[in-house]
Amino acid sequence: MKNNSITIKIMSMIIICTMLGSCVMTKTSVGAFKESPGKEYTYAKGKQLWLFWGLIPLGRTDVGTPTNGNCEVITKYRFTDVLISSLTGGLVMSYSIKVKAKKLE
């Protein structure tokens, strides 16, 4: 009975820690993206996979960029990425990458 209580507490802590780590996002503007007029649209998407808690990349994701070089790169640790990491115990992790560009109006 006591072992069951300890197991529940440990599993609860693991779930809480996993959910707290899911709010990671970086936005990087490249070139004159912020100053450029126009409507934003998604230029490309991709997923980067990592082994051993983010230590070793599994290949390199080739996410395209516009020819003029003006874009915004957004890297997120989304809920689906949290699920992948949780189900594998962190052995495999993934990050979602999105490239945004602007269309001239």
Cα–Cα dist 98/76, whole Å: 8
Cα–Cα dist 65/30, whole Å: 10
Give the residue from 33, 52, 32 showing the smallest Cα distance to 41: 33
Span 69-86, pLDDT tens digits: 788 888 888 878 878 787
What is the DSSP secondary structure assignment for residue 89, as one 8-state letter? T
**How many helices, marked H, and strands, marked E, lie in the chain?**
2, 5
Note the pLDDT of residue 66: 80
Cβ neighbours of residue 89 closer than 8 Å, sequence gap 6 or more: none
Cα–Cα dist 59/54, whole Å: 13
Beta bridge partners of 97: 46, 75
- 84: part of which helix (H) or strand (E)? helix 79-87
What is the block-wise mean pLDDT of the chain (105 residues), using blocks of 10 residues? 76 70 74 81 86 81 80 85 79 87 78
> So where are the chain's domains?
2-103
CA 50 to chain centre: 11
